[in-house]
Amino acid sequence: MIPFFTGVRVIAGLELRQRVRGVAWYVLVGLFGVVVLIVTGLLIWGFRALSGGYDSDPGGNAIFSTIVYLVLLLGTLVAPAFSGNAINGDREAGTLATTQVTLVSTPQLVIGKFVAAWISSLAFLAIAAPFLVVSLVIGGTTVGMVLVSLLVLAVELAVISAIGVGLSGLLRRPLFSVAVTYLVVAALSVGTLISFGLGTLVAQERYEYRSATYDYDDSTGNSECIVSDTTTEGTRPRPDYVWWLLAANPYVVMADAVPTRYGSGDAPSDLFGWIKLGVRSLQQPPDSSLVDDPCNYRSDRSPSPHEVIDRSVPSWFVGLAIHLALAALALVGAIRATRAPARRLAAGSRIA
């Protein structure tokens, strides 16, 4: 056996030199830089026009959130292409078996390939980082927000790379595993929204409530609240049962993880903060006081946005946990499927 990290480093180095780093890769990174540059330029220009020629907080914040989401979008679109054929592509090219007869172990092989795929998608993050600093200069963001967003982006790219490498070890045909990796990205980005919507529909519940009527007393001029004797049946959605589906959305994870600044009325003052508030308030069970005691219901008892966020479970934590579990599962699966000497082989596959 060779030391674990030596093996991983040699494999990752080979992978970066041979498979990932080609002309196409440089072209993609360059194109991405140009797109981010154009978007940033347009945003700065547009917000200056709106705010009468001054740099403004909303402008800086808009640039920040747009670039972060752009990197997340393009990163999750590009990472499957770099990782989705890492193992079965080598198998087809006949270079997997010649690596497997060396002293490098299967975990080293799979993890080395994952590291290489991750590093090559991190390049997109590196290109975008200076633009996030621009948003700091303009205002509307804090160093903490930029650092957290960079960290979450790096983790999300790692998750997609791990899923891609894992699927390339589990599935036989490179084209198929790349496609399935894209489907996983789509399932996380769009599928979570759809399934949350469907889940909320399914998770409706019937409930009984008493209505209240106000009896106006002419003599005193006061009205008295009377809870009616009969109960009425109604249905209400229970998103608090399925909110975790939404939490698994990488865009939600991002918005939720970035620290929120609060403005007037304890309301979030940026885009990510409002998304966070939306997702967090879905965790709240329906207000029972409205049902049980309609006469004593007071709207000012309902919590402020700041309170809602503080009282709820951090959904980025749940989302990242789901993502990391998927990534770990994919890598472990790939290691199991790639072990040599192989006992079972997928139909039609070859070793060398």
Partner 1 sequence: MTAGATAGAATVSAAGPSELGIVVDRVARRFGAVQAVVDASMVAPMGQVTGLIGPNGSGKTTLMLMLASLLAPDQGSIRVAGHDPVADPASARRLLGWMPDQLGSWGSLSARTTLVQTGRLYGMHRLAAAHRAAELIHLVDLGELADRPSRVLSRGQKQRLSLARALVHDPAVLLLDEPASGLDPAARVALRRTVRRLAGEGRAVLVSSHVLAELDEMADSAVYLDRGVTADAARIAATRVSERAWRIRSADRHRLRDALFRAGVPWERIDADAGGLLVPIAGEDAAAALLTRLVGEGLAISAFAPAVGELEHTFLDLSGERMAAAPPAGAGGPGAPADPSPYAPPAPGAHPAPPQPGGPQ
> Residue numbers of the site for partner 1 (CB under 8 A)?
1-2, 6-7, 10-11, 13-14, 17-18, 22, 90, 93-105, 340-343, 345, 347, 351-352
CA 286 to chain centre: 27
Q: Which is nearer to partner 1, 7 or 75 (CB)?
A: 7
Q: Which is nearer to partner 1, 65 or 338 (CB)?
A: 338
Among 11, 318, 324, 15, residue whose Cα is nearest residue 154: 324
Among 156, 163, 134, residue whose Cα is nearest residue 249: 156
What is the C-alpha separation between 286 and 53, in angstroms, rounded?
46
Q: Which is nearer to partner 1, 6 or 302 (CB)?
A: 6
Minimum CB separation of residue 90 from partner 1 in Å reads 8
Among 140, 152, 147, residue whose Cα is nearest residue 55: 140
Residue 286 CA: distances (Å) to CA of 205, 240, 318: 11, 8, 21
Minimum CB separation of residue 19 from partner 1 in Å reads 8
State the burial class of residue 205 (Cβ atoms within 10 Å of its Cβ: 0-12, 13-18, 19+): exposed
Minimum CB separation of residue 32 from partner 1 in Å reads 22
Minimum CB separation of residue 18 from partner 1 in Å reads 4
Q: Which is nearer to partner 1, 2 or 227 (CB)?
A: 2
Minimum CB separation of residue 346 from partner 1 in Å reads 10
DSSP code per residue over 236-285: E--GGGTHHHHHT-HHHHHHHHSPPPB-GGG-B-SHHHHHHHHHHHTTSP
Q: Which is nearer to partner 1, 22 or 144 (CB)?
A: 22
Minimum CB separation of residue 123 from partner 1 in Å reads 18
8 Å CB contact between 330 and 163: yes
Q: Which is nearer to partner 1, 112 or 305 (CB)?
A: 112
* Phi, psi dihedral angles at 344 (to 5 degrees): -115, 140
Minimum CB separation of residue 247 from partner 1 in Å reads 41
Q: Which is nearer to partner 1, 198 or 352 (CB)?
A: 352
What is the C-alpha separation between 186 and 204, in angstroms, rounded?
26
Half-sphere exposure for 128 (CA within 13 Å, toward CB)? 29
8 Å CB contact between 59 and 140: yes
Q: Which is nearer to partner 1, 127 or 165 (CB)?
A: 165
Alpha helix ranges (H) inside 84-173: 86-93, 96-100, 106-138, 143-170
Half-sphere exposure for 162 (CA within 13 Å, toward CB)? 20
Rg of the chain taking only CA atoms, in angstroms? 26
Other beta carbons within 10 Å of 294: 17
Q: Which is nearer to partner 1, 8 or 271 (CB)?
A: 8
Minimum CB separation of residue 342 from partner 1 in Å reads 6
DSSP-derived secondary structure letter, 221: -
Minimum CB separation of residue 26 from partner 1 in Å reads 13
